[in-house]
Structure 1
Amino acid sequence: MRIREGIKNKRLFTRGVTNDLLASIVVFLVALPLCMGIAIASGVPPARGLITGIIGGMVVNIFSGSPLQVSGPAAGLAVVVAELIQEYGIEMLGPVLLLAGFMQWLAGAFKLGQIFRAMSPAVIYGMLAGIGVLIFASQFHVAIDDKPHTHGLDNLLAIPASIQKAVLPPAGSNHHIAALIAIATIAIILLWDKFKPQRLRLLPGALIGVVLTTAIATSLRLPIQYVNVPGNLLEAVQLPQPAGLFRLLHAPLILEALAIAFIASAESLLSAVAVDRLHSGERTDFDKELSAQGIGNMICGALGALPMTGVIARSSVNVEAGGKTKLSAILHGVWILVLVVAAPGLLRMIPTSSLAAILLVTGIKLIEIEHIRKLQFYGKAPLAIFFATFIGIVVTDLLSGVLIGIVLTAMTLLYKMSRLNIHMRRDDDRSRIDIYLEGAATFIRLPKLAAALEQLPPQKELHVHLDKLAYIDHSSMDLLSMWAKQQEQMGSQVVMQWDGLEDRFRRPFLPGRAIAA
């Protein structure tokens, strides 16, 4: 019996390892072009994106609280990194990321993982849509081998000029050739996603697009820009300098670190929630996952690489490809390292415009119309928060846009918590008045409640319906108690109907004989 169980367990283990091995190869094929493309979008050498992909696989997943989530450079942080480098220089990327990773690790250590899940969906969707527009706007220029502008709005406004360069290129330029490669990449991605054979369904369209356009550009020796990857990966490492670490004491850089930590944490934990819905295995430990992301970003900061998050696209591919344990995500990092070390020449054959085309598609996908439709079911306030966050990010910057969304969410919450509707129904035949209170009876609405109650005439049968109140504070209960006693003294009968409220809200009225449940 024991021998049979041992053989069965061995088969299950072998099958699990095989599934993880195959899944790791598929995830590797998805992650490879994205690592380099996001690095270019962030304004850093592609090799730094590859370093982040390696660390996200080989290191983070060892400590991860989400067994099937895959970590690596994320498009959502490309805008933040690009602005950081433009303002403070690439040498400050490492120190700021070190601090951001430390913030994430502390948040996980102090069990704050659940807090990041409490973000308003309207703010999250608005943030993703705003990032999508900024990525699209910047990569549109990279796709024609042109240099993007500093500000996102400038990139948007300059798109017509870039189109003119691609259609009517200036003398001596090759913008039109790069544009054709980008268009070909996008066409291949769209066609592959729609018509791919069932047997090859796990192969990503981005990889097919890059492989085919690279083959075309290499065979024709097209005079366009190609990915620049060093022969030795260590050449891309940039260790933080003491002067850079001391600059972290400045408030603006602390805010930059806080923005990276916040966005990376929110994106990672939201991705973990989505991954949990895709499988029936072990659930995510959010605090552990947050600490693991912090450790990964501290290591990336020490090496001068890109920030990382848990990424839903790669994670969902991992689940779909049959990944069962952390091994699949760990191995995908190993494969990236092996390729970069063994065959960097292959990566140098990839056109930059082809990677930019992948990010153009990624940027568009971040603007999901379905999110807007979902928010419509919850009223106008969520839609207003969504568009305020979205426009704020595009017009100003990412941190300002997110803060606008958070402030509007807080204001909406305060309004809802302080909203009190008072309805009265009179029955003159029975000398009865029914008073219905809905919403939240707090000290903020005390003047409104007092004014409404004071208008009621004496010597009536008064029924106060409190069952639809979401909340009532001590000041409102005290007011109702005093008002009820005054009405009794003037010959009225007061009946308080508490159904649905907690017992603690009934106690102040128990001594009153005319007050009933």
Structure 2
Amino acid sequence: MSACAPPHAQHPRPPHSPAPAPRRFPVAGADLSAAVAVFLIALPLSLGIALATGAPLQAGLVAAAVGGIVAGRLGGCPLQVSGPAAGLTVVTADLIHRYGWRTTCGITVLAGVAQLGLGCLRVARGALAVSPAVVHGMLAGIGITIAVAQLHIVLGGSPDSSVLANLRELPAQLARLDPAAVSMSALTLALLTAWPRLPGRTGRLLRRVPAPLVAVTGAAATAALAGLALPRVELPSWHSHALAGLPEGPVLGLAAAVLTTTLVCSVQSLLGAVAVDKLVAARPGPQPHVGRSDLDRELLGQGAANIVSGSLGGLPIAGVAVRSTANVKSGAVSRNSTMLHGVLVVVAALLMVPVLEEIPLASLAALVMAVGIQMVSLHHIRTVTRHREVPVYAATTLGVVALGVLQGVLLGVAVAVALALHRLAHTRITHEEKEGVHHVQVRGQLTFLAVPRLSRALHLVPQGAHAVVELDGSFMDHAAYESLQDWRSAHTARGGTADLAGRRGGIRTAERAPAAECRCRPWTPWRNHQSCFAEAPAAPAGQEAGRELARGISSFQRNTAPLVREELARLAREGQRPSQLFLTCADSRLVTSMITASGPGDLFVVRNVGNLVPPPGEEHGDDSVAAAIEYAVEVLGVRSITVCGHSGCGAMQALLAGGAGPGDTPLRRWLRHGLPSLARTAGDHRDRPRLAGRAPADAVELLCLTNVVQQLAHLRAHASVARALAKGELELHGMYFHVGEAQAYLLARTEGGTEGGTVFEDVAEGVGKGEGAGGRVWATTPGQV
């Protein structure tokens, strides 16, 4: 399949899923209200960014409309809003100054073509490998450049193309400031600052109107009522609007311009998509079924939007954080909100020209200046300080301000690489003796460059002494590992003891004893871990259970955590998006991750005694099971629910023995949810489930199998499940695990057989058979159990 194929082409609807009912209204109410909110923010910001770049003001409206409609329709992040971005202001202003407006449009088109190529090559994830300190430093440098330039317009003057020139001219501009422009700018900034802080219930209602719209509207109305003579927005006829021209200029300069535009547009859009995913995951209430962003598709959508915008004489386009945040917080549930906001911009550009031409340029400049100041984030500065990356951040920021965006980014990357090499080469190794124990501590990366100093420190440990080598870094290469192991072998051979503490990437180093190597797997029972803890003293019987738990945690930290840390860190950033709700028994022999070969983030697991699903409204029901089902379907948007039973289930044995009879213990009350399974077992033998190739071995196994089928029927009675099934958005599966055989079975229905009923097929055989081989693994759909 082509790398450029949209995601929906790779996941066709299952053949047995009913077609979703057509919507009477194509746009949900939440999308409509979100589109209006984003439009009200985008309109003044688009004009302000166009003003800051020196482009025709219509170019900002063109980019806002194209970003909403084209990028919104084709992009891989449905809730991200694209358009003219403050992060592109410096780049675009420099291009217009060097090459003129029509050539800048041509460069925008070429940058879009480059983005299409990168999207087809599926390299979007690679852009996220850029150090966050470089990205934040780039945005901070751009923000400073914007703020300094717009300050001249706020004071009633006009900016220069260079930051340094603007700073030099600032004293002279202060001496000849325009009181009218300053007053309108001050009013705009005051409204921007005060409006989000309005107190009380009335304030909450008023805050629904975006602050940028209030600030610009307030300044325009005040200027009109006071009769102030100020430069205002000028939108000439669209008939005279300049379209793209062929790029003219030196080839190397144009290539650098295309590269810079592509880099800034792509990185800002991809990072914005990741940020939108986090906002959606953190949003309370049911989540839209949009899934995580497809970054390669997002790059394709941004490329197509830049081609269209440049061709129509619009500004370069990227994902915009302010508008995307407003879109998510306004409750948008699909890409319709983004596209509709673009349509509203088109309507405004055609019908609201007289209104837009009342806006003072000083007000727009103050609005953009505030955006530039916000790009210098104190949160980002604290983050890079905590991670000791201030040199990278500072070099990138100063480079962008003094040299330009591309040069500043390259300078920041160079400093980041130099800092990483410095940390790799400069490892601190210390030796000290405490109470007869020699401690050798290694701080930093342990590579072949540090082997001579490591050897010197290790040879300070006397023969026969007890030594502890503490590794406090993140990596150890093979040369350092061999040197450390050779020393430990020689030291123990001479009567000494040595413990290595810590496990680092590259080579594992945390084994306590050289004589025995721990080969335990993550699913190895605790009783088989004894070889890993041979040196631990025996504990009293009452304390042994606690010791086993502590040992298990210690084994995880040493053996498993280094292998899953990166994946868990990704899930912590992006939030959970499991595809399956797995409802199974609390039996200790049933390890869900082992029998499904799943990992972190795959299964949303609910366990209870007997894998029971109380029907909705059942007396003495358990809201925790119903809540988990509702959360999985409505919030997490799982596509499949599996009910998994197992052989030798104690709950089913208790049912057969009358354990759900009269009485008021919690266990008896719970087991009564299994009585429908018991009644179904006593029904028509032709409807009894069986394992592929054989009948149930005894009454307990028959009840265990029947219970899975019955709980699927209970599951379908829940409202959230019924709705998802009716829309074809959910599948139900039955599963059975035979503990003694270590064999998993999926619920299947025979085709063309004579016995009828339901069959639990061997998973391996069922997957390999295919439709024409007499059996198939299946999922229940409406009307089937």
TM-score by length of 2: 0.57
Whether 2:224 is the aligned partner of 1:224: answer no
User: Where do 5+ consecutive residues of structure 2 fail to align?
Assistant: 1-17, 281-286, 519-531, 533-785
Matches within 5 A, 1:30-69: 30-69=41-80
C-alpha displacement of 1:399: 2.4
Matching residue of 1:181 = 184
User: Is residue 119–residue 297 contact of structure 2 (8 Å, CA) maintained in 1?
Assistant: yes
**1:296 maps to what in 2?**
305
2:159 to 148, 155, 166: 148
The separation in 1 between residues aligned to 2:190 and 2:441, in whole angstroms, is: 61
**2:421 corresponding residue in structure 1:** 414
Show the counterpart of 2:243: 238
Q: Partner of 1:386 in structure 2?
A: 393
CA distance in 1, matches of 2:351, 2:504: 68
Query: What amino acid does structure 1 have at the position aligned with 2:313?
Result: G
Paired AA for residue 41 in structure 2: V
Contact 1:237 1:305 (C-alpha < 8 Å) held by counterparts: no
**Corresponding residue for residue 336 of structure 2:** 327
Distance in 1, matches of 2:271 and 2:393, equals 17
1:212–1:257 distance in 2 versus 1, CA, 3 Å: same
1:457-476 superposed matches below 5 A? 459-461=463-465, 463=467, 465=469, 468-476=472-480
Alignment-derived partner of residue 213 in structure 1: 219
1:469–1:492 CA distance, 2 compared to 1 (3 A): farther
- Structural mapping, 1:97-176, within 5 Å: 97-166=108-177, 175-176=178-179
Select which of 248, 251, 276 maps to 1:249: 251
**What's the offset of the Cα at 1:56?**
0.2
Structure 1 residue 18 displacement after superposition: 1.7
**Does 2:363 correspond to 1:354?**
yes
What is the DSSP-based 3-state SS (H/G/I as helix, E as strand, rest coil) of the residue aligned with 1:437? Answer: strand
Query: In structure 2, what is the equivalent of residue 71 of structure 1?
Result: 82
Distance 2:378 2:501 in 1: 43
Name the structure 1 match of 2:262: 261
1:386 Cα offset (Å):
2.2
RMSD: 3.3
Q: Deviations over 1:52-97 (max 9, x none)?
A: 0010011111111111110010111101111122123323212322
Which whole-Å CA distance do the structure 1 matches of 2:433 and 2:174 have between them? 70
Conserved 8 A contact 1:42-1:81: yes
User: Which of 373, 379, 398 is matched with 2:405 structurally?
Assistant: 398
8 Å Cα contact 1:56-1:71 kept in structure 2: yes
Cα drift, residue 492 of structure 1: 6.7
Distance (whole Å) between structure 2 residues aligned to residue 515 and residue 113 of structure 1: 41
Instruction: State the Cα distance separating 1:116 from its structure 2 match.
Output: 2.2
1:415-454 correspondence runs (5 A): 415-426=422-433, 433-453=438-458
* Structure 1 position 248, deviation (Å): 6.9
Q: Which residue of 2 aligns with 1:275?
A: 276
Q: Distance in 1 between matches of 2:24 and 2:276?
A: 23
Q: TM-score, normalised by structure 1?
A: 0.84
Deviation track 1:304-361 (CA, whole Å, cap 9, x = no partner) reads 3211111111111112222111011101111111121223222222221111111122
Unaligned runs of 5+ in 1: 1-5, 167-174
Equivalent position amino acid for 1:377 in 2? R
Contact 1:114 1:286 in 2 (8 A): yes
Is 1:145–1:225's contact at 8 Å kept on the other side of the alignment? no
Q: Which residue identity lines up with residue 227 of structure 1 in the other structure?
A: V
Maintained 8 Å contact 2:69/2:342: yes
Whether 1:497 and 2:485 are equivalent positions in the alignment is: no
CA shift, 1:139, in A, is 0.8
Q: Which has the higher contact order (CA 8 A, sep 6+)?
A: 1
Assess if the C-alpha contact under 8 Å between 2:440 and 2:457 holds in 1: no
Q: Measure, in 1, the Cα distance between the counterparts of 2:100 and 2:307.
A: 19
State the SS of the aligned residue for 2:28: helix
Against the structure 1 CA distance between its residues 454 and 26, is the aligned structure 2 distance closer, same or farther, given a 3 Å change threshold?
Answer: same
Is the 8 Å Cα contact of residues 492 and 498 (structure 2) preserved in structure 1?
Answer: no
8 Å Cα contact 1:73-1:308 kept in structure 2: yes
**Kept after mapping to 1: 8 A contact 2:384/2:390:** yes
Aligned length: 490
Q: Secondary structure at the match of 1:400?
A: helix
* Aligned partners of 1:71 and 1:311 also within 8 Å: yes
Pair 1:116–1:503, CA change in 2 (3 A) = closer
Deviation at 1:33, TM superposition (A): 0.6
> 1:495–1:515: 8 Å Cα contact kept in structure 2?
no
> Could you report, residue by residue, the CA deviation over 1:425-484 in whole angstroms, capped at 9, with x for unpaired residues?
44897xx75544343221222333344456666x44574636545322223234445656
CA contact (8 A) 1:239 1:303 kept: yes
Counterparts in 2 of 1:471 and 1:145: CA distance versus 1, 3 Å: same
Which has the larger Rg? 2
Instruction: Name the structure 2 match of 1:3.
Output: none
CA contact (8 A) 2:476 2:507 kept: no
Q: 1:501 to 1:69 in 2, by over 3 A?
A: closer
Asked whether the equivalents of residues 105 and 314 of structure 2 are also in contact (C-alpha less than 8 Å), the reply is: yes
Larger helix proportion of the pair: 1
Q: Which residue of 1 aligns with 2:347?
A: 338
1:145 and 1:466 map into 2 onto residues whose CA distance is: 64
Distance in 2, matches of 1:288 and 1:492, equals 63
Once residues 353 and 506 of structure 2 are traced to their aligned partners in structure 1, the CA distance between those partners, rounded to angstroms, is 70
Distance 1:228 1:453, change over 3 A: same
Question: Match of 1:278, as an amino acid?
Answer: L
Aligned residue in 1 for 2:481: 477
Aligned-residue offset at 1:513: 7.9
Match of 2:316 among 307, 321, 327: 307
Aligned residue in 2 for 1:375: 384
Q: Is the 8 A contact 1:37 1:356 kept in 2?
A: yes
Check 1:284–1:248 CA distance in 2 against 1; reply closer, same or farther (3 A cut).
Answer: farther
